[in-house]
Chain A
Amino acid sequence: MSRQQVCDILIVGAGATGSLAALVLAQAGLDVVCLEQGSWVNAADRPHRLADWSWQRRTGWNPDVNKREHADDYPVNSDSSQILMWNAVGGSTNVYGGLWPRYRPSDFRKGTEHGLQPDWPITYEDISPFYELADKIIGVSGLSGDRAMPPRERCPTRPLPVSAVARRLSAGFDELDWHWWPVEASVISEDYDGRPGCNNCGVCNGCPRGSMNEFATSIWPKAIRAGCDLRTQARVLKIEKGADGRATGVHYVDRKTGQVLFQKARIVVVAANGVGTPRLLLASENLANGNDQVGRNLLHHTLVASEMWVNGPIDGHVGFAASLISREFAETDISRGFVNGFNLNCVTSTPSAGELAAGWFSSARAPWGTHHHQWFEKHFGHSIGVFAIGDDLPNPENRVTLDTTRTDSDGMPGAKVQYVPGENDKRMMNYMLDRLKDLAQACGAVEYRLQDYRDQAGVYRTPAWHMLGTCRMGKNPENSVVNGWAQSWEVPNLFIVDGSVLTTGGTVNPTPTISALALRTAGYIRDNFASLSTA
């Protein structure tokens, strides 16, 4: 094993938050090294331009880590959830959908509100400036003035075009007297920062043309120009701790050569997502886990969905994948029979005729045989999808642990994921399904199907893009892993900047909040580097 020079900042993981931390810290003149177990994803390798892109999305480019075979992945043994992630420069933003909604103030105050979740150690007001900063860096499209949210600055780019799906849905929401608003997206509606505006292609799982913000193409080039040393195919095996209780660096495999190296660092920042980060800490001789909190309280969100079909063509395969968001049910209303709220994330439809006919996200699909074409003609161009996404309560037994039965290609234990929705979550999902039914009827759907993500045995197998809470931020070291600056309670020069630090899941896609927190933490490290980097 060779020893290398000590760097100021060592970042584990080159996904969204790793890239933002690298950008801030390298631009400050610090010596930053980032280790990424995966590789660069070349635009030319992406399926978007291929005739068989629909097939590719279900096979080699499937976001479910257990439905593709990729050398950069590690084993994830889940008893329930479908674990969706991408291990590469840019992380899961290589395949995400680019919705960009913010948390609301009450999401940070659930301990005060009902006590079934803890309060965050920070408030909405603490994170708000960093939401704005992230939006500017990324070029978020959207519309200010939503009365269901705190005031915000004007979005860097205007909202994406209003689709026929959005018009149909908004009429349904108006009929119900429910809130709706154009969705904010990490998709630029006009040219921005050297990237081309969206061309409404609809193939929104990552975006090799660069209209959707993928951190590999929008952030990493800037971080590298600022001096960050990004090493790909570099899988971290263990974070090393010294006798003084401080992290000293990491052991990693250079997967190009097979050589195991040690990179010394003054500060270690982990950005390996809500499964990868607890896995790494647990594999590092239980690092930062004296209170047995690492890996616990896994949150996925409560998630159910509906697929509806309406008379008259609406061409849901055209335009950005999402259309509207409704925050009508975002706050707790005890009269509903549960705590916390949810949002209605209205998408459009699948961009693929084949996906629609083969079955999109409900049980509906074109039958085989003589009625196949009749079904297709009636449904294609007429479909709308809506997700209901809610704030699930933490359960210490919903957790990530090490899977000692399987290892990755470098001998490191895989991850084991356990997740079962609780009583409050089930009540919420029942209520959500009823509201989805209301919406379908208000939209004049001639047919609709609900999706509860339960399999034939009744197991809830949610498509889990959101892996949160497993190293949560808190006010005290008894029930949390990091403090309000995402700094480990136990290892003072160890920071975590991915979704694992979220104290609650909120009612929205978490990437904007995770990104804002990463910028806030990186700024804190930059401004306090001298004191943080010494014992």
Chain B
Amino acid sequence: MLKHLVDELIPGDTRWPAASDVGVHGVVMLRLFSGQPSRILEQLSTSLDRSSDGLPGTANRAAIVQRFSDTQPALFEQIYTAAVLAYYEMPAVIEAIRASGRPYHASSHEVGYAMPVFDLERDTPRHGRGSYLRTEEVAPLDLSSLDLDAVKTTKWGLER
């Protein structure tokens, strides 16, 4: 069942392996369900398809997964995140990234990436912008226009 699910989440194509081809379902199982496999798998099974032992190999797979996502968002989120992180750490997937033209190492901390050192002549900014107040230049400001006590911001952030 999990094998079918991860392939629906991250299917393969000509350039990218399917999630199950690189063993993502096994990693997800280990990371999320090793402590309590039966209960969570039962919950997953119920969410996906009560009458099936896995996702049916039919055209309505996507609809089933969408329903799972809608009805069990927290569990879906947990599985999808784990599947994605597992997928992109697999050697075959890292090879696919490199084949796309991007430099990428499985363990970049070991080998690093080559970059030209900072050249003081070439790389020093020339824009000449920037200023600051010296200690003795800091002077009292007139805040009367702000009305911080009277005018309240009711909509802020992305809700504006």
Contact = CB atoms under 8 A, between A and B. Distances in A.
B89 A52 contact: yes
Contacts of B142: 334
B58 interface: no
B160 interface: yes
A77 B144 CA distance: 38
Contact of B159 (A50, A453, A454): A454
B19 to A, nearest CB: 9
B159 A380 contact: no
A284 interface: no
A148 B127 CA distance: 12
B117 A200 contact: no
A62 interface: no
A113 B110 contact: no
Interface residues of B, number: 73
Interface string B9-52: 11101011000000000000001000000000000000000000
Contact of A55 (B86, B97, B156): B86
Contacts of A426: 153, 156-157
A199 interface: yes
B107 interface: yes
Given A147-B130, A315-B102, A354-B87, A51 B114 contact: no
B57 interface: no
B81 interface: yes
A174 B138 contact: no
The binding surface of chain B is classed by DSSP as: loop
B10 A353 contact: no
B111 A199 contact: yes
Contacts of B133: 104-106, 331
B157 A357 contact: no
A136 interface: no
A447 interface: no
Contacts of B11: 369-370, 372
B34 to A, nearest CB: 13
Contacts of B113: 199-202, 318-319
Interface residues of A, number: 99
Contact of B140 (A112, A174, A423): A112
A100 to B, nearest CB: 15
A534 B33 CA distance: 60
A294 to B, nearest CB: 27
Contact of A114 (B82, B89, B110, B141): B141
B8 A353 contact: no
Contacts of B116: 161-162
Contact of B84 (A148, A338, A358): A358
A66 interface: no
A116 B149 CA distance: 12
Interface string A94-132: 000000000011101100111110000001110000000
B94 to A, nearest CB: 8
B77 to A, nearest CB: 10
A150 B132 contact: yes
A279 to B, nearest CB: 30
Given A150-B132, A377-B100, A113 B140 contact: yes
A159 B115 CA distance: 12
A258 to B, nearest CB: 28
Contacts of B92: none
Contact of B109 (A49, A162, A331, A458): A49
A158 interface: yes
Interface string B111-143: 111111110100111011111111100111111
A108 to B, nearest CB: 7
The binding surface of chain A is classed by DSSP as: loop
A353 B97 contact: yes
Contacts of B102: 313, 315, 380-381
A115 B140 CA distance: 8
A351 B152 CA distance: 40
B54 to A, nearest CB: 17
A70 interface: no
A359 B83 CA distance: 13
Interface in A146-164: 146-150, 158-163
B74 interface: no
Given A304-B157, A313-B102, A339-B143, A357 B132 contact: no
A319 B103 CA distance: 12
B142 to A, nearest CB: 7
Given A51-B107, A315-B102, A319-B113, A330 B146 contact: no
A352 interface: yes
Contact of A355 (B85, B93, B117): B85
Given A147-B130, A148-B132, A209-B109, A54 B157 contact: no
Contact of A162 (B31, B118, B138): B118
B135 A380 contact: no
B129 A178 contact: yes
A334 B111 contact: no
Contacts of A332: 141
A409 interface: no
Interface stretch (A237-245, A427-435, A510-518): A427-435
A331 B132 contact: yes
A248 interface: no
Interface of B: 8-11, 13, 15-16, 31, 62, 65, 69, 80-82, 84-89, 93-94, 97, 100-118, 120, 123-125, 127-135, 138-143, 145-146, 148-149, 151-153, 156-160
14 contacts: A51-B89, A54-B89, A109-B135, A116-B143, A123-B135, A150-B132, A159-B118, A161-B115, A170-B125, A179-B130, A355-B85, A366-B84, A372-B9, A423-B151
Q: Which 4 A-B pairs have the closest CB atoms?
A: A199-B112, A148-B130, A452-B157, A354-B88
